[in-house]
């Protein structure tokens, strides 16, 4: 496995590649969710490039950019074992040299949900993802359904800007008790880790209500909110039932529906979602 730290090294490496190239963009501190993306790329592509870059421009003031967990040595061992061919590990100054001021401004889809809660977040994501696409020039790029709106924003950017990259979306990988894997789970103390289970349970409650014939999204959101609020350490940011393609909020359940939420458990902000097709 080759480790590439500079854009010059990456470009030289890319010029030597033949066959399908897969890219897995990450912010590191890897878990099985990330590794499921890597394995999908390794299975489908001749070469798999993984980027590890905690992108400062997608964090708002007061967010956890500085404390975001990092363990590059462990990440590299996991990536090598998963069959990664190359890891791109740039410094922030390599990605954003002084004077860099061109950005991708995503459209309407980026203003809702996570975009409303984290202003500027998706501009930062779209910009860095386009830069990674331009640098690695992958045939396919792999993203997790856990970040459902991120997927929607990237798919829209790829379509609107005619970017020749196939976007592959992989299912959310969960712990055995249902908690969606996330690098941020490491912030949870044991009591919060237990409390965090309420998030997936509330999504399952919504799915059960819909399966039982409930179509009023106000009723469903109310039941989800009541359930989450039984946990004292939980504070809801949003609960949403939206059209899975446009992310427009639904009054009446229609398929496919994206049921998504963001909540703080103690100080840790977590997101989760399910899609009912």
Ligand X SMILES: Nc1ncnc2c1ncn2[C@@H]1O[C@H](COP(=O)(O)OP(=O)(O)OP(=O)(O)O)[C@@H](O)[C@H]1O
Ligand Y SMILES: CC(C)(CO)[C@@H](O)C(=O)[O-]
Annotated binding site for ATP: 27-34, 144-147, 173, 181-184
Regarding 196 and contact with ligand X (CB under 6 A), the answer is: no
Q: Check 34, 118, 156, 201 and give the catalytic one.
A: 34
User: DSSP string spanning 47-98?
Assistant: EEEEEE---GGGSPTTSSTTTS---HHHHHHHHHHTT--EEE---HHHHS-T
Binding site residues, ligand BAL, CB under 6 A:
58, 147, 150
Q: How far apart are CA 44 and CA 112, in angstroms?
A: 33
121 catalytic per annotation: no
Q: What is the pattern of x (binds ligand X, CB under 6 A) and - over residues 167-186?
A: ---x-xx------xxxxx--
Regarding 131 and contact with ligand X (CB under 6 A), the answer is: no
CB of 54 to ligand Y, least distance (A): 8
Asked whether the CA dihedral 259, 262, 265, 268 is positive or negative, the reply is positive
Burial class (CB within 10 angstroms; exposed 0-12, middle 13-18, buried 19+) of 101: exposed
- CB nearer to ligand BAL: give 147 or 192: 147
Regarding 114 and contact with ligand Y (CB under 6 A), the answer is: no
In the block, tokens 């090598």 appear at 80
- CB nearer to ligand Y: give 41 or 55: 55
SS3 176: coil
Site for ligand Y in 7-66 (CB under 6 A): 25-27, 55, 58
Among positions 36, 41, 47, 233, the unique one binding ligand X when judged by CB under 6 A: 36
- CB nearer to ligand BAL: give 75 or 147: 147
Q: How far apart are CA 141 and CA 23, in angstroms?
A: 5
Q: What is the CA radius of gyration of the chain?
A: 19
Q: Active-site residue numbers?
A: 34
Binding site for ligand X (CB under 6 A): 26-27, 33-34, 36-37, 143-144, 146-147, 170, 172-173, 180-184
């Amino acid at each position: 496995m080759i480790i590439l730290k500079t854009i010059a090294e990456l470009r030289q490496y890319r010029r030597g590649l033949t066959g399908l190239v897969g890219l897995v963009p990450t912010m590191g501190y890897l878990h099985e969710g990330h590794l499921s993306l890597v394995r999908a790329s390794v299975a489908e592509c001749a070469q798999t490039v993984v980027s590890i870059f905690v992108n400062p421009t997608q964090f708002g003031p007061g967010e956890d950019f500085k404390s975001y967990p990092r363990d590059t040595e462990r990440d590299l061992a996991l990536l090598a074992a998963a069959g990664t061919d190359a890891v791109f590990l740039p410094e922030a100054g390599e990605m954003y040299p002084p004077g860099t001021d061109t950005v991708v401004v995503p459209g309407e889809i980026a203003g809702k949900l996570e975009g409303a809660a984290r202003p500027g977040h998706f501009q930062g994501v779209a910009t860095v993802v386009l830069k990674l696409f331009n640098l690695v020039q992958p045939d396919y790029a792999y993203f997790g359904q856990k970040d459902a709106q991120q997927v929607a924003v990237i798919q829209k950017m790829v379509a609107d800007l005619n970017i020749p990259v196939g976007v592959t979306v992989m299912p959310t990988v969960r712990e055995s008790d249902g908690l969606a894997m996330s690098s941020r789970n490491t912030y949870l103390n044991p009591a919060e880790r237990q409390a965090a289970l309420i998030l997936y349970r509330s999504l399952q409650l919504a799915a059960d209500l819909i399966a039982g014939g409930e179509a009023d999204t106000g009723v469903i959101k109310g039941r989800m909110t009541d359930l989450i609020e039984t946990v004292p350490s939980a504070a809801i940011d949003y609960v949403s039932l939206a059209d899975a393609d446009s992310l427009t909020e639904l009054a009446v359940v229609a398929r496919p529906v994206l049921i998504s939420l963001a909540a703080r458990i103690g100080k840790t902000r977590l997101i989760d979602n399910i899609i009912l097709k």
